[in-house]
Amino acid sequence: MFFECDALIIGGGPSGLITGSLISKKGFKTIVLEEHKEIGRPEQCTGLVSWRIGNIPQELVLNRIETARFRFGKRYFEVSSPKKMVVIDRTGYDKHLAVKSLESMVEIKTGERAVGLKDGKIITNRGNTYLGRMIVGADGPNSITAKLVGLKQPGNVLFAIQCVAKGVFEQDVVELRFEPEFSKDGFAWVVPLSSNRARIGLVTEDNPLPRMRILLKKFDLEAIGKPVGDSVRYGIMNRTVAHGMILVGDAACQVKPFSLGGLVYGRICSEIAGEACVRALEEDALEEDFLKEVYDSAWKKTIGKALKKGLWMRRFFNLIRRVPASFVFIKTMSLGLLAGKILDPDFLEGKS
């Protein structure tokens, strides 16, 4: 079947849904294609976010976090933020955004994955053909949209795995573990949902499953259900636009290079993406140079410095993890307390 619209969003995660809603609210016909059969499934995110996630229903807030503990074996230091982080129901958050999208007259088609591009039209796994004046690639770290139009994503890829586990946890403390047995060039995490349940996971350069087994066994944790895996890509793309097309969210590597969280940066950049698409459609200006000006340059101006700070932080922790005594030194010198006062969790000081 053939479908035509003003804006075609490839990917029904938060970035795609937010961008689509903003475009549709301005009266442009918008279609979202989501490869999975259900919005929000599988759940592949810790859901740990700052206040910059914006207004969400309180029932989606599962826990509030005051302290981040950086640990290497028995050595550790802690950082506390003046504003608490929150752990959200990620599946519920996606579904909440989907409802908002539907209210904005966005048409969501699940079970449809983009597989090809022919004569400017997107071909899906179901054999359907979609023609959008604007195409928004919000299809994650291995974006097929980027490949179809020749936009190169960074080669920095880590493999993540996560599950919910039973155990005994400090409810307001997130732990990041840097022991090499848990991760290569990454870290493991414990994000509590309550005093007896937490999201346990890790990111690593190699196969994450054996390391996940080690992590659960070492801390005597009982996994609830099967672990869910995904890949994470980070870095700064040279170009996130092509003629009549932009990338947003994980597809554009709008991800914190250190913590690898993408919800906050994705929300910020999705708003820029929505405004840019509306301008392009209103002015019938789909040229790459115009999209670079109103979108690519705009989002990089907003979070570009934060991305660079995150890359620096990643290099810093890759260095100190080689010298475990550094964790004790930072604690002894009270540098963690200082960091909590001067560092913003999103590296976006002064921005709401």
What is the residue extent of each domain of the chain? 2-342
Instruction: Give the global pTM.
Output: 0.93
The pLDDT value given to residue 329: 62
**Among positive and negative, which fits the CA dihedral 277, 98, 55, 166?**
negative
Question: In the numeric block, which tokens belong to residue 86?
Answer: 């929150």
Q: What is the pLDDT along the chain (352 residues), one digit of tens a residue?
A: 999 999 999 999 999 999 999 999 999 999 999 999 999 888 778 899 998 998 899 999 999 999 999 999 888 888 887 788 999 999 999 999 999 999 999 999 999 999 999 888 999 999 999 999 999 999 999 999 999 999 999 999 999 999 999 999 999 999 999 999 999 989 999 999 999 999 999 999 999 999 999 999 999 999 998 899 899 999 999 999 999 999 999 999 999 998 899 999 999 999 999 999 999 999 999 999 999 999 999 999 999 999 999 999 888 888 877 777 777 767 665 554 444 443 567 878 755 5
Q: For residues 276 and 135, what is the distance between their CA atoms, to the nearest angstrom?
A: 12
Which regions of 155-287 does DSSP assign to beta strands (E)?
A: 156-166, 173-177, 187-192, 197-204, 222-234, 241-242, 245-247
Q: What are phi and psi of 94, to 5 degrees?
A: -60, -45
Q: How many CA atoms lie within 13 A of 3 on its CB side?
A: 22
Q: For residues 28 and 105, what is the distance between their CA atoms, to the nearest angstrom?
A: 9
Topology given in CATH for the domain delimited by 2-342: FAD/NAD(P)-binding domain (3.50.50)
